[in-house]
Amino acid sequence: MSGRIPLRASWRRWAQPRRLVPLLLFFAFGIGAFCLMPSNPCGLPLHYSIGTIDPRFGIDRTEAIARAKDAQEMWEKRAGRRLLVYDESSRFKIDFIFDERQQAILDSRALDQHRADLKAIDRRTQTAASEVATKYQALKAQYESLLADFELRGAQHTAAVEYWNRRGGAPPRVFDALRQDEADLRFEGEYLESLREQANRTADGVAAIVRTGKTAVDAYNQSLTILNRQHEGPDEQAACIKDSEKRPVAIQVYEVLDEAELTRSLAHEFGHAFNVEHENDPRSIMKEVFEGDQEELEVTDASIAALKAACNPSGSADR
Ligand SMILES: [Zn+2]
């Protein structure tokens, strides 16, 4: 028995040459478009959006968008054309990823606050101690001046008593006066003793204030030691993640020191998204390490040239 499986009617329909042509064309276009994509990694203008923001960064979406647009403007102002488009539906996202880097910034802020608190405690302690010390000095001066007078009068009284004793006794009037003198001296002696005790309690108060201040400072210093612990780990503030074709997939932000620094970080990573590499120019936003005063960083002529070169590898005219 010989037999052949007949062509299915539907297949036979497609196998007709006139049907095959548009199908091949369709495939050719598809493959062509797929092959073209990697050769054009910039794909400018690049659409981007803000992805997730870890709440520990302490910034909201509106602010993140504003800073991204500032960074965008740094490039577009110099390039003189549209390079980026904020587009909520874009899959190229800027994500704020919290790790030990942002934790280090939070710790350093807490450290600054601690230092400020410490200074305030120190100031209060010194003020209180100096007020009490002044009070002590006044009491001490009062006591010493009264004591000198008291001792002089005590010596005069003793001399008078000895004088009359050598003579076998004082006349009644003198005797009464000497007894009164003696009572006055005893009373003043007691007052002087209370003054001395008051002055000494005041001196103890100064010491107590200084001790309390020292305890507070010690406690703060201990927390400083904890906060000062070294943060190990990578030190890049942000990164532009790319696929194997060097197309930007995401920007990850790891550190936000302040608004200006975030703008600079984003501008730098946008540069990487355009396939612009690091530059040695200390004024360039594309320099590898940000340090010190960064206010003046900018998109340089070299950055723009690198952007054009990266996006037009054939050297053809701008798109
Ligand atoms: Zn970089």
Q: Which two tokens stand for residue 73?
A: 């403007």
From ligand 1's centre to the CA of 131, what distance in Å? Answer: 57
Contact 222, 118 (CB under 8 A): no
Angle at 15 between CA 9 and CA 18, to 5 degrees: 125
Which pair of tokens denotes residue 68?
């991204």
Q: How far is the CA of 289 from the centre of ligand 1 (A)?
A: 8
Token pair for 105? 């910034």
**Ligand 1 midpoint to CA 219 (Å):** 41
CA of residue 285 to ligand 1 center, whole Å: 9
User: Does residue 131 contact residue 202 with C-beta atoms inside 8 Å?
Assistant: no
Distance 298 CA to ligand 1 centre (A): 14
Q: What percent of the chain has pLDDT over 90?
A: 51
For residue 127, what is the enclosing H or E element? helix 100-166
Ligand 1 midpoint to CA 239 (Å) = 7
Spatial separation of the C-alpha atoms in residues 116 and 196, rounded to whole Å: 39
- Those residues whose C-beta lies under 8 Å from the C-beta of residue 298, and which sit 6 or more positions away, are 74, 78, 283, 284, 285
Q: Which of 302, 274, 308, 305 is nearest to 287 (CA)?
A: 302
Tally of CB atoms within 10 A around 238: 22
Q: What is the pLDDT of residues 218-241, one digit of tens each?
A: 887 777 776 666 555 567 899 999
Whole-number Å distance, alpha carbon 112 to ligand 1 midpoint, is: 29
Cα distance between residue 99 and residue 56, in whole Å = 10
pLDDT for 1 beyond 70: no
Q: How many whole angstroms separate alpha carbon 17 and alpha carbon 30?
A: 20
CA of 80 to the centre of ligand 1 (A): 23
Average pLDDT over residues 293-309: 88
**Gap from CA of 76 to ligand 1 centroid (Å):** 19
Mean pLDDT within 41-65? 91
Task: Tell how far the Cα of 259 is from the centroid of ligand 1, in angstroms.
Answer: 19
**Taking the CA of residue 211 as centre, how many other CA atoms within 13 Å lie in the half-sphere pointing to its CB?**
6
CA 315 / ligand 1 centre spacing (Å): 24
User: The pTM is what?
Assistant: 0.63
- State the average pLDDT for the chain: 83
Report pLDDT digits (tens) over 134-179: 988 898 999 999 999 999 999 999 999 999 999 999 899 999 999 9
How much distance in Å is there from the Cα of 319 to the middle of ligand 1?
25
* Ligand 1 mean position, distance from CA 8 (Å): 60
Closest to 94 in 3D by CA, of 46, 49, 45: 49
How many A from CA of 38 to the centre of ligand 1? 22
CA of 55 to the centre of ligand 1 (A): 25
Residue 300 has pLDDT above 90, yes or no: yes
- Distances in Å between the Cα of 311 and the Cα atoms of 48, 49, 135 are 17, 21, 79
pLDDT at residue 33 in the model = 43
- Provide, rounded to the nearest whole percent, the portion of the chain with pLDDT above 70: 80
Residue 163 · residue 169 · CB < 8 Å: no
Give the pLDDT band (50/70/90) at residue 98. very high
- 43 — pLDDT class (breaks 50, 70, 90): low
